[in-house]
């Protein structure tokens, strides 16, 4: 019996040995077939997701985003793996495609890793243009010596704003050709990400500078809700180099605390609660009006963002203390009747914070259209969380609803079923920001409408 088993094993061994090449090719064929099947299934799923995104009108990016040249793209997939925001880019028919356009925040890592230069970062699309101040690759406007960096220039991402602020300050410092005697070499308007980086760069180069911040240090970041996650990847600051955190998920408080440490250590010259009200160019320098009087500077960087000018509803009594345009500390609102206006990310996030069970609030969010159109500018993750809160009974989503009147203890709402009265203690309005294009144009800065225009063009 043992001799028969040994002979069978020997025969099997010689059979495999004699046909090793054929067996190997068969195994490889099976592996390749499984990989192709997996790729095909994933592609079908991605195509289905893209169709859903288009149907829900979520395929138009809000700001800076990648544009793929199909003729150059070979489908290596490097860009899909580089994006820290998840599956924003995916492969369909061996070509990179922008799938989740509303999730794109303009990191630009996809452009950096593409080995064939098939990706450009662009503003606007062929269908929807964006009004952007005219700036050069060094962020200098059409007015020599006057720069724009950060959110005001169409890029709101913290990491990008920091990079822009540093680059603008570097260019400004290299071109200090004015012989005029001024108070400062560089005056920076704003002390958010872009303004802080610009101030650090001026400090690094031992130039005389000042950063004017109309509110508090941190600018836009300071006005984010408490514990909001603001960053997921490291960034680089002048003097400090790469700034890392123990965790990749960085909250508003963590970021502001680190910035404040850097600010104190380097004695960065920032004046808070100091709002500029005018800029006048005289020959080769600028005169800037402030509450303390006029100051002069050879170069000026506008880095004040756009959140300082919230868009209002234009209603009577809108100036009541109960009305606010940003949410900083949700915890101070407990057991209250709260209304939120808007269908964008800021409004939906605020509603999510306010409706947490431990606060005991009665929260309603007012959206002018249906879910498909009224929440079109809201990220999918936020929309899903909002719907979950509604299912749990934590929030009331009011579609086809707008605020008609504001009173001390209630609101009058305009709905498809007529006017309705709703008890209300606080009202948060997130109707976007008034980008100060008129002010910029009054300075002589030209505004261009971008329809898929490459960054820096």
Q: What is the CATH number of the domain that holds 57?
A: 3.30.70.20
Query: Could you tell me the residue range of the domain that residue 449 belongs to?
Result: 131-309+436-454
Residue 420 in this model has a pLDDT that exceeds 90: yes
Residue 355 in this model has a pLDDT that exceeds 90: yes
Q: Note the pLDDT of residue 38.
A: 65
Most confident of 9-13, 87-91, 106-110, 222-226: 87-91
Q: Is 346 found in the same domain as 222? A: no
Does residue 17 sit within a domain? no
Cα angle 216-219-220, degrees, rounded to a multiple of 5: 135
Q: What is the mean pLDDT of residues 21-33?
A: 69
CA 236 – CA 197 distance, rounded (Å): 9
- How does pLDDT run across 181-239, given as a tens digit for each residue? 999 999 999 999 999 999 999 999 999 999 999 888 888 888 777 777 777 777 889 99
Percent of the chain with pLDDT strictly greater than 70? 88
- Per-residue confidence band for 409, with pLDDT thresholds at 50, 70 and 90: very high
Q: Note the pLDDT of residue 206.
A: 94
Q: Is 224 found in the same domain as 156? A: yes
Q: Note the pLDDT of residue 122.
A: 83
Q: Is 287 found in the same domain as 223? A: yes
Residue 143 in this model has a pLDDT that exceeds 60: yes
Residue 306 in this model has a pLDDT that exceeds 80: no
Q: Note the pLDDT of residue 64.
A: 78
Residue 2 in this model has a pLDDT that exceeds 90: no
The better pLDDT of the pair 93, 204 is held by 204
Does residue 18 sit within a domain? no
Q: Note the pLDDT of residue 20.
A: 59
Q: Note the pLDDT of residue 208.
A: 96
Q: Is 155 found in the same domain as 94? A: no
CA 132 – CA 122 distance, rounded (Å): 11
Q: Is 206 found in the same domain as 64? A: no
Among 123, 157, 180, residue at a domain's last position: 123
Most confident of 153-157, 169-173, 312-316, 432-436: 169-173
- How does pLDDT run across 330-347, given as a tens digit for each residue? 889 999 999 999 998 889
Residue 55 in this model has a pLDDT that exceeds 80: no
Q: Is 417 found in the same domain as 366? A: yes
Does residue 251 sit within a domain? yes
- How does pLDDT run across 244-260, given as a tens digit for each residue? 877 777 888 888 999 99
Q: Is 302 found in the same domain as 335? A: no
Residues 6+ apart with CB under 8 A from 441: 447
The better pLDDT of the pair 166, 3 is held by 166
Does residue 393 sit within a domain? yes
Among 123, 140, 161, residue at a domain's last position: 123
Mean pLDDT score of the chain: 84
Lowest mean pLDDT among 82-86, 214-218, 365-369: 82-86
Q: Is 286 found in the same domain as 167? A: yes
CATH number at residue 168: 3.50.50.60
Domain count across the chain: 3
Does residue 241 sit within a domain? yes
Residue 415 in this model has a pLDDT that exceeds 70: yes
Q: What is the mean pLDDT of residues 446-455?
A: 79
Residue 16 in this model has a pLDDT that exceeds 60: no
Q: Is 109 found in the same domain as 212? A: no
Does residue 395 sit within a domain? yes
Lowest mean pLDDT among 209-218, 346-355, 431-440: 431-440
Among 79, 107, 123, residue at a domain's last position: 123
Does residue 3 sit within a domain? no
Q: What is the mean pLDDT of residues 3-9?
A: 54
Q: Is 190 found in the same domain as 245? A: yes
Most confident of 22-36, 145-159, 291-305: 291-305
Q: Is 49 found in the same domain as 166? A: no
CA 334 – CA 351 distance, rounded (Å): 13
Q: Note the pLDDT of residue 10.
A: 59
Residue 146 in this model has a pLDDT that exceeds 60: yes
Q: Is 96 found in the same domain as 36? A: yes
Residue 102 in this model has a pLDDT that exceeds 90: no
Token couple for 176: 């200090």
Q: Note the pLDDT of residue 405.
A: 95
Q: Note the pLDDT of residue 18.
A: 57
- Per-residue confidence band for 173, with pLDDT thresholds at 50, 70 and 90: very high
Does residue 339 sit within a domain? yes
């Amino acid at each position: 019996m043992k001799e028969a088993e040994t002979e069978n094993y020997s025969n099997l061994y010689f059979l495999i040995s004699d046909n090793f090449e054929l067996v190997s090719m068969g195994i490889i064929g099976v592996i390749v077939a499984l990989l192709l099947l997996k790729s095909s299934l994933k592609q079908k799923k991605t195509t289905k997701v893209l169709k859903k995104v288009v149907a829900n009108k979520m395929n138009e990016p809000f700001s800076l985003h990648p544009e793929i040249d199909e003729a150059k793209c070979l489908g290596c997939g490097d860009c899909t793996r580089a994006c820290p925001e998840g599956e924003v880019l995916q492969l369909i028919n061996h070509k990179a495609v922008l799938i989740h356009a509303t999730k794109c925040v303009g990191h630009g890592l996809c452009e950096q890793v593409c080995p064939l230069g098939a990706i450009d970062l662009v503003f606007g699309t062929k269908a929807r243009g964006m009004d952007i101040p005219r700036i050069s690759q060094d962020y200098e406007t059409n007015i020599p010596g006057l720069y724009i960096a950060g959110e005001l220039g169409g890029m709101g991402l913290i990491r990008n704003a920091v990079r822009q602020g540093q680059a603008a300050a570097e260019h400004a410092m290299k071109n200090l050709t004015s012989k005029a005697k001024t108070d400062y070499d560089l005056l920076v308007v704003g002390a958010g990400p872009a303004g802080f980086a610009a101030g650090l760069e001026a400090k690094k180069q031992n130039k005389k500078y000042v950063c004017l911040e109309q509110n508090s240090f941190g600018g836009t970041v300071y006005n984010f809700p408490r514990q909001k996650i603001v960053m997921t990847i490291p960034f680089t600051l002048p003097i400090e180099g790469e700034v890392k955190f123990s965790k990749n998920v960085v909250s508003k408080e963590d970021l502001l605390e680190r910035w404040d440490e850097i600010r104190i250590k380097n004695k960065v010259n920032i004046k808070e609660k100091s709002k500029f009200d005018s800029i006048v160019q005289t020959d080769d320098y600028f005169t800037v009006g402030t509450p303390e009087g006029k100051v002069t500077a050879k170069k000026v960087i506008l880095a004040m963002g756009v959140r300082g000018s919230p868009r209002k509803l234009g209603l009577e009594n809108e100036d009541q203390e109960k009305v606010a345009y940003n949410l900083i500390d949700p915890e101070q609102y407990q057991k209250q009747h709260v209304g939120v206006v808007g269908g964008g990310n800021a409004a939906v996030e605020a509603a999510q914070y306010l409706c947490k069970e431990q606060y005991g609030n009665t929260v309603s969010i007012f959206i002018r259209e249906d879910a498909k159109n009224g929440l079109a500018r809201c990220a999918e993750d936020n929309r899903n969380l909002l719907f979950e809160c509604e299912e749990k009974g934590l929030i009331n989503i009011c579609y086809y609803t707008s605020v008609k009147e504001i009173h001390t203890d209630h609101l009058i709402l305009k709905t498809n079923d007529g006017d309705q009265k709703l008890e209300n203690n606080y009202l948060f309005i997130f109707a976007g920001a008034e980008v100060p294009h008129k002010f910029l144009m009054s300075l002589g800065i030209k505004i261009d409408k971008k329809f898929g225009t490459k960054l820096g063009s």
